[in-house]
Amino acid sequence: MAFKLNVNGKSATVDVPGDTPLLWVIRDVLNLHATKYGCGIGQCRACTVHLNGRAVPSCQTPVSAVGNQPITTLEGLSADGTHPVQLAWQEIDVPQCGYCQAGQMMTAAALLAKNSKPSDKDIDSAMNGNLCRCGTYLRIRQAVHRASEITTNASTRAVQTASVNK
Amino acid sequence: MKKMSIDRRSFLKVSALGGGGALLALYVKPAVAQFGPQVPALPSNYIKIAADGTVTIMAKNPDLGQGVKTMLPMLIADELDADWKKVKVEQTDFDDTKYAGQIAGGSTATPTNWRPMRQVGAAGRAMLITAAAQTWNVPETEITTDSGKVVHQASNRSMDYGQLASKLDSLKPPALNTVKLKDPKDYKIIGHTQQGRDTHAIATGQPIFAIDMTRPGMLFAAYEKCGVFGGKVKSANLDEIKQMPGVRDAFIVERPVPNENVLPGDPGLENGIAIVADTWWQAQTARKKLQVTWDEGKWGTPDQTSTVFQQKADEFSKGSPQRTIRKDGDAEGTLKSAAKVVEGAYSYPFIAHAPLEPQGCTAEFENGKLTLWTNSQIPGNARRLAAEACGIQQSDVTLHMLHGGGGFGRRLTNDYAVEAAYISKHVGKPVKLLWSREDDMAHDYYRPGGFQYLKAGLDNSGKVVAWRNHFVSYGEGERFASAAAMGPTEFPQRFVPNYELHTSVMPLGIRTGSLRAPSSNAFAFVIQSFIDELAHAAGKDPVQFRMDLLNAGTPLPPPPAPGARGGFGPAGMDANRMKGVLELVADKSGWGKRKLAKNTGIGVAFHFSHLGYFAEVAEVKVESNNKVKVNKVWVAADIGSQIINPGFAENLTHGAVIDGMSELMDQEITVDKGRVVQTNFHQHKLVRMAQAPPEIEIHWLKTNNQPTGLGEPALPPILPAIANAIFAASGKRVRALPLSKSGFSWA
């Protein structure tokens, strides 16, 4: 069956059975490999993507349920690593093995989009679905705070620039 | 505490005089012997300098998150005096004609490479100096280097390394043992935090993992095996499967099954059914329609069940042990006359490695040659077993080492790589094999469970005078199942005058193997919990009691023979180094001085493994419903004179603590008639972010010893440290892992 998807701002048509998990469409049909398979039952969330801005486990999302909602994968945050979450992850040097980190960053980016200054508690609660087998949680927490700072500083700068331009 | 400091200082003096570093080197040797043949390290195999000045350093070891792809090149780059910011790091293939010890295991990368990698860098620098001296026609002694440049101060000239690139080929590298190494105070790269070399790729989602590998014309495979080890296919509905959408082939693999009663550690190709399709989801979807009748073989029997193992162990504990591993003095006799006798029956379960990237490998068999793209921790074995399965020579195999999504010891076994190789040969196409998480949980090489029946005697002064352990494990006769042994020098051997270690074993039909800090990850919990029981029975402070025990030791025995397990094991433990970290962790955690809130307790433990000395303290709160919150953890470690990449070392230590917490609270694999019961992470839980301690404070005690590994030895003490803190907070002593079986859970 053909499905027309909007992935990272680009339109793509895929011909797969409707019950195919979005994860496998993204990985093996669209060849976008940042999104990872870890458990297949929504327990680890290494497969997290944004569906219409919400962080969802793509292994639990049949492609038929996507409709016209835009999909964003880690590749769609930025290709060069300049999204505040990606910048923070690099600056704090979060990863050990790195396998879960795409999912972690996607959950973090969705959190920050709703709540630009999350507390530790907000972070714990938003990120609790994402497993890290290596145990980088302390750095993930630190990196979410850092990404929040980068976002705030950038928007402050943008506001300042805007007012100068007036 | 004061006395301790004097002890440590005097030890340092003694070791400086007596060559403590040389002694350590002897302990490191068995590790080297165990991990493959040595080939001389040639600078040209590690360092490439291009005319444009680009310095490329080869990273030779598999990296599955333990940071060696960054750490090993740092050693070379610092001695080469390269500009780290401009250095490119490239992962090598597996090539045992060029590189020694291409393995991720045993926390061996640091102790076995510390010297040779720095020598390689220093040799490269010496060659650059020779080339510059010839170019400028000045004495080599007048030339210095400065981050990627050779400098002749006297004539105010300098040259980028790249300008000398063409001259290096004609120079003979100096013998490695003749090159002069830097004074550590001059390090510019070593000892300074460097970002992980794959961090950018990970942050941008580049396809660096084994699971991301693609080849033109590649097919995808799933592999169904019997839940019981050695089971073979009697019949299967393959005709129906072959008709499923996208399926290109489905076939039965049948191999001779090892008939021994102790299962092999890395058996190569195992019986099963391969399904090959255009996409993995199609292969997996077809697989759900599989109807297989298995001949389960000899292991699918009712006695291969966890509850039966427990019953048998309890029966063993009441009778005479099958054999004795160690007998110093007379523990049985001393226990009869001891002022106080303490007994404890401890147990721990099988657990799975479950690295987050499931097992998988891409293989391409073409014209009698095989190419593998794998994240094996021991690629030499992957090559050998894959060659055997495909009936070709090892020299016909090319093995590319890809970044691994965690290993923890699971990828020391190469079943998945061998399956991929065989399937590719069978279908004549490149194949990516991927296991599901359920496959991984069902076909792991589990951390062996075990049972320890302990009895110890205290004299009137509270000193431990007798220690008796009946260690019940798995195996047959004198053979233990893989990673299920206890050696004759297990702590507190050498520290208690009357020490007896006995064992009894039972047959086991599930596969076992090394999990991060093998044996130590279970033994530390048992030994350090029981020592805590003894401290309380003696009415002594748990830290002071441990100090007294460490002070009661006999001197370090001579190093073990090459190849002996003692290279990692407790035989090599230097009590003075352990006292150093115990004192440090007590000091930093405010032990004995700390004000504790209601229902809050503090616990301590230490453990020596993989040449590393770790003492850890945990502060925990235990609510009335047995909900446990770890408020804070302090780690003190002595892994030698230098922490090579401090930022990453901190990250790895956080991870070890959190990994140990998962093992402590929730993880258990149970067996039912030879089959593993748990299927996925909902039944084999990892610590989640909200459960992780808000703070883990790490202190490195730098001593005059060669740097050693970190990934494993940091883990074992956290289990007993938290268990002892739970006792301190609640009065509840839990002797069986995981704690969840006794009604505990994370807050």
Which of A134, A139, A141, A150 is the mutation pick for testing B, counting most B CBs within 10 A?
A134
Q: What is the pLDDT of residues A9-51, one digit of tens each?
A: 999 999 999 999 999 999 999 999 999 999 999 999 999 999 9
Among B288, B287, B304, smallest CA distance to B296 is for B304
d(CA B64, CA B104): 8
B688 touches chain A (CB under 8 A): yes
Say what the pLDDT of residue A153 is: 86
With bands split at pLDDT 50, 70 and 90, how would you rate the model's confidence at B572? Answer: confident
Q: What is the pLDDT of residues B8-54, one digit of tens each?
A: 332 222 222 222 333 333 344 444 444 444 688 889 999 999 999 99
Q: Are residues A100 and B356, on separate chains, in Cβ contact within 8 Å? A: yes
Q: What is the pLDDT of residues B239-259, one digit of tens each?
A: 999 999 999 999 999 998 888
Average pLDDT across chain B, whole number: 93
Residue A160: count of CB within 10 angstroms of its CB: 10
User: What DSSP character marks residue B186?
Assistant: G
Q: Are residues B686 and A131, on separate chains, in Cβ contact within 8 Å? A: yes
B62 touches chain A (CB under 8 A): no
Residue A124: count of CB within 10 angstroms of its CB: 19
Among B745, B742, B746, B622, smallest CA distance to B349 is for B742
A18 touches chain B (CB under 8 A): no
Residues of A in contact with B680 (CB under 8 A): 39-41, 43
Torsion-angle region of residue B731: left (phi > 0), alpha (psi -120 to 50) or beta? left
d(CA B240, CA B260): 36
Q: What is the pLDDT of residues B327-380, one digit of tens each?
A: 999 999 999 999 999 999 999 999 999 999 999 999 999 999 999 999 999 999
Please state whether the peptide bond connecting residue B558 to the residue before it is cis, i.e. omega within 30 degrees of 0: no
d(CA B366, CA B428): 7
SS3 B730: helix
Say what the pLDDT of residue A162 is: 58
Per-residue pLDDT averaged across B391-409, rounded?
98
Q: Tell me the whole-structure pTM to 2 decimals.
A: 0.94
Q: What is the pLDDT of residues A86-129, one digit of tens each?
A: 999 999 999 999 999 999 999 999 999 999 999 999 999 999 99
**What is the complex's ipTM, to 2 decimals?**
0.96
Say what the pLDDT of residue A160 is: 65
Say what the pLDDT of residue B13 is: 28
Say yes or no to pLDDT of A146 above 90. Answer: yes
The DSSP secondary structure of B115-146, one letter per residue, reads HHHHHHHHHHHHHHHHHHHHHHT--GGGEEE-
Q: What is the pLDDT of residues B401-444, one digit of tens each?
A: 999 999 999 999 999 999 999 999 999 999 999 999 999 999 99
Q: From start to end of A16-58, where are the E strands?
A: 48-51, 54-57
Lowest mean pLDDT across A143-147, B20-24, B496-500: B20-24
Tell me what percent of the residues of chain B surpass a pLDDT of 90.
Answer: 90
Say yes or no to pLDDT of B94 above 60. Answer: yes
Say what the pLDDT of residue B559 is: 61
d(CA B572, CA B30): 12
* Cα torsion through A54, A56, A61, A65, rounded to 10: -10
Q: What is the pLDDT of residues B467-493, one digit of tens each?
A: 999 999 999 999 999 999 999 999 999
Say what the pLDDT of residue B247 is: 98
Say what the pLDDT of residue B565 is: 42
Which of A39, A58, A60, A124 is the mutation pick for testing B, counting most B CBs within 10 A?
A39
Say what the pLDDT of residue B8 is: 32
Q: Are residues B204 and A137, on separate chains, in Cβ contact within 8 Å? A: no
